[in-house]
Amino acid sequence: MARHLESLRYNRRRLMTKRSHAAFACVVLALSGWLLLSAQTQQPAQPQQPDDIPATDAQSGPCSIELSVTGLDGKPVFSARIDYHTAYGFMGTHKLDMGVYTNAQGKAKFTGIPAKVKKPPIEFIATKDDLVGLATMDPATECQAKHDIVMDKKK
């Protein structure tokens, strides 16, 4: 009798193990089917439109600046890099270095600039190949600004 009970327990364990393996396989199959279906229904990433203004967000304040970069001939400069560095906060302990490239119309935008900076004005330096240009902004006096940068040969 003891042998028979032991045999039943062994068979029950085997059956439970087979059921748990089957349940696990069903879950894996269902998840893989769901992932495959969701991957097929996702839309491809939209390429950036040439009219969209590239922007970078510092998430450090309410101010922003939109910059238009042109050459000496007045034509917009595509893919010029605009960089800026600032220190803000108590004793200038927070540092912020950012950069963005211009679009086909020579435009770029910085948002989230802090309203109080350590040494105003902030300098925005545009560079491309051997061209360079500069724009300045004091966020305390002009929080939402638009400026032009005319690029010239480096001296």
Residue-by-residue DSSP string for 90-110: GGG-EEEEEEEE--TTSEEEE
* Nearest C-alpha neighbor of 113 from the set 91, 131, 87, 92: 87
pTM score of the predicted model: 0.64
**What pLDDT does 43 receive?**
44
Asked if omega into 121 is within 30° of 0 (cis), the reply is yes
CB pairs under 8 A, 24+ apart, for 29-35?
A: none
* pLDDT at 1 (0 to 100): 60
Cβ–Cβ < 8 Å for 61, 115: yes
In this prediction, residue 97 carries a pLDDT of 86
Q: Measure the CA–CA gap between 124 and 133, rounded to whole angstroms.
A: 8
Q: Each residue of 29-69: pLDDT tens digit?
A: 555 555 555 544 444 444 555 568 999 998 889 999 999 99
**pLDDT tens-place values along the chain, 155 residues long:** 666 556 556 555 554 555 555 555 555 555 555 555 554 444 444 455 556 899 999 888 999 999 999 999 999 999 999 999 887 777 777 788 899 999 999 999 999 998 988 888 999 999 999 999 999 999 999 999 999 999 999 87
